[in-house]
Amino acid sequence: MAKSNDLLQGTLDLLILKTVSLQPMHGYGILLRLEQLSGGALNVPQGSLYPALYRLVHRGWLDSEFGVSENNRRAKFYSLTAEGRRQLEVEERQWQRLSQGVTMVLKASRGVA
Amino acid sequence: MIGRLRRFFALARERRRFEAEMAEEMADHLVRRSADLEADGWAPSDARRRARLEFGSVEGFQEACREAVWLHLLDELWRNLRHGVRVLFRNPVLTSTVILTLGLGIGVNVSIFSLLDAALLRPLPYSAAERLVVVETHFGQDGVSASGNLYQNGRTWEALAGSVQQLDLAVFSDGSSGVNAVVDGRAEYLQQQRVGAGFFRVLGVDPLIGREFTAREDVPGGPRLAILSHRLWQHLYLGRSEVLGRTLQLRGEPYEIVGVMPADFRTGVDADLWTPLRPSLRGEGEGANYMILGRLRGAATLDSASDEVRAIGAPALEALRIPAGRQAWLGLESLQRGLGREAGSHLLLSWLAAWLLLGVCSFNVTGLVLALAARRSAEMATRRALGGGRGAIVRQMLTESLVLCALGGGLGILLAAFGVRLAGAFLASLLELWQPIALDARALAVALLLTLFALLVTGLYPAWVSARRHARHDAIRVARRSLSSRRVLVTAQLALVVALLVGAGQLVRTILHLQDLTPGFNAEGLVAATVSLQDVRYRQPDAANRLLQSVAARLNDDPAIAVASAGLNLPYERPLNLSFVWGAEEEGKITNLSYVTPGYFEALQVPLLDGRYLDTRDDAPGAATAVVNAAFVHTYLGDREPLGTSLRIAGAERSIVGVVSDTRQTPGWGENEPLGHRAAVFISLSQTSAPFLELVHGWFEPSWVVRPRGGGVNVEERLRAAVSAIDPQLPIAAVRSMDAVRDQVLARQRLQASLLAAAAGGALIIAAVGLGGLVAASVAERRREFGIRLALGASPWSALGEAVLPGLRLAVFGLVWGLPLAVALAYGLRAFVHGVGPWDAVTYGWVATLLAIAAGFASLLPALRVLRFDPARLLRSD
């Protein structure tokens, strides 16, 4: 199983779901969008995107369909399913809780019992 | 999970497209990336190289994608299959043993399931068959039924017919009788079933052409009508529709054909044609001869209709002589369960035996697979050492078991196809099936389930054992652990075998017990010849008497024949039951009746207890006489002096002139012992009436009983000669020895015992083979130890004892573990067992002996290798 080295386990799935929730996209487009939205902070190894996409389709959270892209090339587009939308909400909430928790830990200062 | 499985199977079906699209998608990614890089100012060739570098290993990610959607499992399965087949081919003896064993276990199981399915489980082939019921008489106490009987008498039918609101009812006879027919001058011997008006309507089957009998026709003295089976219609009339209205001669009288049934129609009887039953309270109405079929009307339920039948039928049962403290009442049972019940319980028992046999087969195969696994422990250890996952090894072992079980299951289906044909040829009539035995989709589904069961039993444990091993385990330790698992398996097999043997032993002992019962007459050398007198020429007592007596007289003149006579009933068979009254009493009681010709008791050698036998004095008209048996005196006379007492039976007042001792009969009504003593009255044939004879000959066929003077006399030939000299037109239905008559009555018990004995024998052989294999393996494992002992001067014979002992010890364990199971089975079998207790010492003694013999041979043969061991060579090896 390919894991992205730079991202927390499972985070890539959340990011993909979020990106695709904005509009259906092909793999390369998802990658560009991620880079763009994160201001270049997130660097997803390119090939490892695909096993993640296939896993999400397999779980029924994404749909995939061939279509024609902006430059008239045939490409496989991924879109969110209803189940995927629910999953995205769940994962977003979890992420919020996690990041709040981490933030609180990091804010801790000496002397507080 | 289900969605994922569905997507997996969808992908597996379109594997090629999946691969192509995945490759296209990744290639597209690379093209886009290099185009972007070119736009950033990279040279085209550098852009392509850099794009590929950034992406990483395309093949690696493709494999990761396949894993993400589980397709790698498919690849692995295919690899494992090929590998498994190679491994199995490398071990041909073991593989074929496994396949044969599983095939046997599954084949036997599926065959018996097919029988059970036809008898009990598969819905009857009639429309809304679940609404079909049969009337049942219960005998019991306080409303709790102790036994039931589907046979009804005329009183029950008279009470219910036309009175029950919730049921559409019809009466029928569940047996068929052979009749002589003449069609266009050609003689035929046909099987006829008698059914009442409405029988086909209630079943929900319309005649193919023509009509069924009406209620006005189905009365004594009604017109002679016949409905043909499709087969007979084709055979006699080549399927021509103008057959309606034509006549055929049955037993000397013309019968008009009013209908033909469809090709696939069948009842529980192998009938060529159907004639009206004509239920009547006169004569046969007293006998428990009928079955009553019903279809629930409208909103009626089995319970509500059952209550109605019970209430309406109650007065009709008062005529039955029910012992004090017991009651009889009517109820309903679904047609399917009612008819299948008796055969079904026998078949369920056989199925249980088949499962035990399959258990033995499966454990045996598990042991063999373990042995194979032990042989390959080095391979597995290497795989684990190289990083092979535990799951992968489990999957591979399971795949190999899958191949074995699939082949075993396939062989099992072939064997079952054979078994079902065999059963159809020999057992269909014994089981009174209302539908054909077939290896259909249901049986195949069972075969599939059994194969899965075998896979679970034989595959999981060895796979788990293989996966548990670590690379550091050396081969000897692995072999030892495999041996200890196999010991447990062999013990389990032997335990199951003990249970099967005890079950079979109980049934075999039952048969022996029933055969050894004192019959009450001298069966030795006695031959019986049965004829049908359902013939207009023999309607008068004089004519029938003349026929039976003249043939007997011819035989008595023959110096090779000691004595010959004739009577309505043979011992062992089901007697005619009939009501009688004492003197002026109103209420009838039921007993059994047989007519005889002079010399009957002398021919059978039934001892006389009091008074005299019936003889030529009783041929004279005038004062009618009767002889009763001891059971009759015991049941009805108590302390009263039997001789001179008179009773009214079969239309005449008869005075008892003699008491004979009891003979064994098959029960009819409310009794369960297979062969018992039943109260009976014997009268002289010449003192009967024509209407009485017509009625009883509709149900029963008289027989001559002939005792030759010494052995070597061809009685059948002489009998046939005598009959054809008196009436050349009269066919003999059957010539049988009295032992054959008894065997026929016990056929079902015998079948049961043979099936169980065969299963037990098969299981014993399989378990013995398993034990032998285990002893061989343990001798092989310990050969170094034996080598050292022999080198140190131990005698080969003591080494042999040492090698044999573990096998015998396992047999003792098997016996100990099997005993509780065997006792439980013996208690469960009590309904099938007669004259033998669940703790029957003889049975257990035989089982222990058989087990000891089998275990002795199984241990000794492989252990003999010890005698050929050469210590010097053994110590050099390894």
Q: pLDDT tens digits, residue range B396-410?
A: 888 888 899 999 999
**CB of B611 within 8 A of CB of B701?**
no
Give the gap in angstroms from C-alpha B378 to the nearest C-alpha of chain A.
29
What pLDDT, on a 0 to 100 scale, did the predictor assign at position B568? Answer: 93
For chain A positions 48-77, those within 8 Å of chain B (CB to CB) are 48, 50-52, 54-55, 57-60, 66, 73-76
Average pLDDT over residues B524-534: 88
**CB of B319 within 8 A of CB of B287?**
no
The beta strands (E) that lie in B152-252 are given as 167-183, 186-195, 209-210, 225-228, 247-250
For the cut 50, the answer to whether the pLDDT of residue B528 exceeds it is yes
pLDDT grade for B256, boundaries at 50, 70 and 90: very high
CB-nearest partner of B25 from A58, A59, A76 = A76
**CB of B636 within 8 A of CB of B626?**
no
Q: Is the pTM of this model over 0.80?
A: no
Q: pLDDT tens-digit profile of B729-786? A: 787 878 999 999 998 888 888 888 998 999 999 999 999 999 998 898 888 888 888 8
Report the 10 Å Cβ neighbour count for B557.
Answer: 10
For the cut 90, the answer to whether the pLDDT of residue A1 exceeds it is no
Q: Which site among A32, A33, A55, A58 would you substitute to test the B interface, given the most B Cβ atoms closer than 10 Å to its Cβ?
A: A58
Average pLDDT over residues B5-11: 86
pLDDT grade for B282, boundaries at 50, 70 and 90: low
What pLDDT, on a 0 to 100 scale, did the predictor assign at position B315? Answer: 86
| Residue in B closest to A83 by C-alpha | B3
Q: pLDDT tens-digit profile of B33-74? A: 999 999 989 999 999 999 999 898 888 899 889 988 888 888
Share the mean pLDDT of chain B. 87
Query: Is A81 at the interface with chain B, CB within 8 A?
Result: no
Residue type, B457: V
Average pLDDT over residues B188-202: 91
- Min mean pLDDT across B140-149, B207-216, B498-507, B528-537 is at B140-149
Percent of chain B clearing pLDDT 90 (strictly above): 44
Q: How far from the centroid of its chain's Cα atoms is residue B697's Cα?
A: 31
Tell the residue number behind the tokens 């429309």, with chain if given. Answer: B127
What pLDDT, on a 0 to 100 scale, did the predictor assign at position B7? Answer: 86
B697 vs B691: CA distance, rounded Å: 10
Size of interface A-B (CB pairs under 8 A): 72
CB-nearest partner of B7 from A46, A58, A66 = A58
pLDDT grade for B322, boundaries at 50, 70 and 90: low
Q: pLDDT tens-digit profile of A20-33? A: 998 899 999 999 99
Extract the tokens encoding B434: 């209302």
Q: Which residue has the higher pLDDT, B600 or B831?
A: B600
Contacts of B29 in chain A (CB under 8 A): 27-28, 46, 50
What pLDDT, on a 0 to 100 scale, did the predictor assign at position A4? Answer: 42
Give the gap in angstroms from C-alpha B76 to the nearest C-alpha of chain A.
16
CB-nearest partner of B55 from A26, A46, A73 = A46
**CB of B338 within 8 A of CB of B174?**
no
| Residue in A closest to B70 by C-alpha | A58
- Min mean pLDDT across B12-21, B178-187, B639-648, B862-871 is at B178-187
**CB of B278 within 8 A of CB of B141?**
no
Q: What is the DSSP letter of B517?
A: S
For the cut 80, the answer to whether the pLDDT of residue A59 exceeds it is yes
CB-nearest partner of A28 from B22, B32, B61 = B32
Contacts of B70 in chain A (CB under 8 A): 58
Give the gap in angstroms from C-alpha A1 to the nearest C-alpha of chain B.
6
Beta bridge partners of B703: B530, B567
Gyration radius from chain B CA atoms:
37
Beta bridge partners of B722: none
For the cut 60, the answer to whether the pLDDT of residue B319 exceeds it is yes
For the cut 60, the answer to whether the pLDDT of residue A113 exceeds it is no
CB-nearest partner of A50 from B8, B54, B61 = B61
What pLDDT, on a 0 to 100 scale, did the predictor assign at position B878? Answer: 53
pLDDT grade for B90, boundaries at 50, 70 and 90: confident
Q: pLDDT tens-digit profile of A25-58? A: 999 999 999 888 888 887 788 888 999 999 999 9
Give the gap in angstroms from C-alpha B57 to the nearest C-alpha of chain A.
7
Q: Which residue has the higher pLDDT, B177 or B569?
A: B569
H helix runs in B558-648, sequence order: 600-604, 630-632
Q: Say whether A47 and B58 touch across the interface (CB within 8 A).
A: yes
B448 vs B781: CA distance, rounded Å: 37
Q: Say whether B29 and A28 touch across the interface (CB within 8 A).
A: yes
Can you tell me whether residue A87 is helix, strand or coil?
helix
Give the gap in angstroms from C-alpha B463 to the nearest C-alpha of chain A.
25
Q: Say whether A54 and B33 touch across the interface (CB within 8 A).
A: no
CA-CA-CA-CA dihedral for B605, B609, B611, B613, to nearest 10: -20
Query: Is A36 at the interface with chain B, CB within 8 A?
Result: no
Contacts of A26 in chain B (CB under 8 A): 25, 28
For the cut 60, the answer to whether the pLDDT of residue B469 exceeds it is no
What pLDDT, on a 0 to 100 scale, did the predictor assign at position B559? Answer: 92
B158 vs B586: CA distance, rounded Å: 19
Query: Is A3 at the interface with chain B, CB within 8 A?
Result: no
Q: Which site among A28, A32, A81 would you substitute to test the B interface, given the most B Cβ atoms closer than 10 Å to its Cβ?
A: A28
Q: Say whether B67 and A27 touch across the interface (CB within 8 A).
A: no
Instruction: For residue B779, give every residue at least 6 positions away whose Cβ sits within 8 Å of its Cβ, in sequence order, or none.
Output: B786, B803, B862, B863, B865, B866
Q: Say whether A47 and B69 touch across the interface (CB within 8 A).
A: no
Residue type, B171: V
Give the gap in angstroms from C-alpha A30 to the nearest C-alpha of chain B.
11
Q: Which site among A26, A49, A50, A74 would you substitute to test the B interface, given the most B Cβ atoms closer than 10 Å to its Cβ?
A: A50
Q: Say whether A58 and B58 touch across the interface (CB within 8 A).
A: no
Query: Is A1 at the interface with chain B, CB within 8 A?
Result: yes
A96 vs B290: CA distance, rounded Å: 82
Can you tell me whether residue A110 is helix, strand or coil?
coil
B143 CB burial (10 A radius; 0-12, 13-18, 19+): exposed
| Residue in B closest to A63 by C-alpha | B7
Query: Is B18 at the interface with chain A, CB within 8 A?
Result: no
Contacts of A52 in chain B (CB under 8 A): 68
Give the gap in angstroms from C-alpha A58 to the nearest C-alpha of chain B.
6
Q: Say whether A51 and B65 touch across the interface (CB within 8 A).
A: yes
Give the gap in angstroms from C-alpha A9 to the nearest C-alpha of chain B.
16
Query: Is A27 at the interface with chain B, CB within 8 A?
Result: yes
pLDDT grade for B471, boundaries at 50, 70 and 90: very low
CB-nearest partner of B65 from A26, A54, A60 = A54
Average pLDDT over residues B161-171: 92
